[in-house]
Amino acid sequence: MSDVNLFDSFSEFKEFKNIDRETMMRILEDVFRNMLIKKHGTDENFDIIINPDEGDLEIWRNREIVPDGEVEDDNAQIALSEAVRIEPDFEVGEEATEEIKLGHFGRRSILSMRQNLVSKIIELEKDSLYNKYSSRVGEIITGEVYQVWKREILLLDDEGNELILPKPEQIPSDYFKKGDSVRAVVAKVEMRNNNPVVILSRTAPEFLERLFEMEVPEVFDGLITIKKIVRVPGERAKVAVESYDDRIDPVGACVGMKGSRIHSIVRELKNENIDVINFTANDQLLIQRSLSPAKITSIKLDNEENKAEVFLKPDQVSLAIGKGGHNIKLAGRLTGFEIDVYRDSEGEDEDVDLEEFADEIDGWIIDELKAVGLDTARAVLELTTEDLVKRSDLEEETVKEIMKILSEELE
């Protein structure tokens, strides 16, 4: 077996990712030295010259020249009569150097060596990939969609490494097809069946934090600190920010002129609403800010139980709760308090938006009342049953039931 036949695969080895030339040379030399030790018991008197780029391999054996008949170790010594065949001028006592062809080791040893070589390189490739991405957990990377499956998406980085974006780590409205460029944060690196698997995420708070660092120079430079981020991916997020420099408005800097900075982040997150608030150590003030855009009348705190009772005007309750309850849930996660919302019942002018009764009154009925200019509970109750039947297309029994529900709420 010739050298060329064995090392046709050098070009194949060169294509392995994340392995530099010096490392490749070391692996190759280690494999060949192990083969020499296995055959001769030592590799001390051998020189190995490898050129992976060209596919060249040379092995040279150095032996002491001794008189004929005095050879005690075939590997370390060579008879003079044999040495002069290599170089006619050799003399006893000198060192003879000759090239060892790979055929000298036998076909089975060569095939075993090649398998060992491939195995070592693949193992090193796995270690390199694991170490590379373990050190990048929490960083944003860009990958190209290679395959879309039901439960996950396979992406490739710029070096061809495979990355996984599971369905739960995707924003609900995400839609990708092959060839798309996707930005995500490295969530973790797992070992599955002895293979490293890089897991990406677009729903992690760290993804939003890295986007702020990319879009807001003051955050990247550390002039503005992001204290905490809570998200309902694709729906709403709250970001508490703080600056130790009184000259910097952290909220204004994050939002940008006319929302220029925040808009690019919102687009990346598929129109996720992002509330940026000033962080404060004052719990009451933090709760008040976190429930924005609702305006709070008063707050009662129970620090031992981490509970907060928040009182608002009736028209502010729906704002505090938010669509799908996301606003109040995120406010609770941001502040660490279990928040309960109450309508401020002071005064006789209390009123409640009809949307607050969505759990008790069908949506089409609320829409019908709004269509005739009745947006609040008190506006409906100011009419008689007969008047409401005339003004709307609702039946009398339905109107009476609505009146009962609304009056009980305002009592």
**Predicted pLDDT of residue 4:** 39
User: What percentage of the chain carries pLDDT values higher than 90?
Assistant: 40
Looking at per-residue confidence, does 362 or 20 come out higher? 362
**Predicted pLDDT of residue 349:** 53
Task: For the chain, give the mean pLDDT.
Answer: 85
> Using one digit for the tens of pLDDT, what is the confidence trace for 121-158?
788 888 888 999 999 999 999 999 999 999 999 999 99
User: Which CATH architecture does the domain made up of 206-279 adopt?
Assistant: 2-Layer Sandwich (3.30)
Average pLDDT over residues 380-399: 83
Q: Provide DSSP, 184-231.
A: EEEEEEEEETTEEEEEEESSSHHHHHHHHHHH-HHHHTTSEEEEEEEE
**pLDDT exceeds 50 at position 1:** no
Q: Pick the range with the lowest mean pLDDT from 13-22, 120-129, 131-140, 278-287.
A: 13-22
**pLDDT exceeds 60 at position 337:** yes
CATH classification (class only), 354-410: mainly alpha
**pLDDT exceeds 80 at position 8:** no
**pLDDT exceeds 90 at position 68:** no
Question: Domain spans of the chain?
Answer: 3-131, 137-201, 206-279, 354-410
CATH topology of domain 137-201: OB fold (Dihydrolipoamide Acetyltransferase, E2P) (2.40.50)
**Predicted pLDDT of residue 20:** 63
DSSP summary character for residue 102: G
**pLDDT exceeds 80 at position 284:** yes
Query: 3-131 domain in CATH 3.30.413.10?
Result: no
CB-based contact 112:84 (threshold 8 Å):
no
**Predicted pLDDT of residue 148:** 94
**pLDDT exceeds 80 at position 411:** no
Q: How would residue 196 be classed by pLDDT, with cut points 50, 70 and 90?
A: very high
| 295 three-class SS | coil
Looking at per-residue confidence, does 244 or 391 come out higher? 244
Q: How would residue 103 be classed by pLDDT, with cut points 50, 70 and 90?
A: low
CB-based contact 186:141 (threshold 8 Å):
yes
Q: How would residue 7 be classed by pLDDT, with cut points 50, 70 and 90?
A: very low
Q: The whole model's pTM is what?
A: 0.65
CA distance 233 to 266: 11
**Predicted pLDDT of residue 53:** 60
Q: Cα torsion at 81, 84, 85, 87 (round to 10°)?
A: 170
Average pLDDT over residues 281-308: 91
Looking at per-residue confidence, does 119 or 221 come out higher? 221
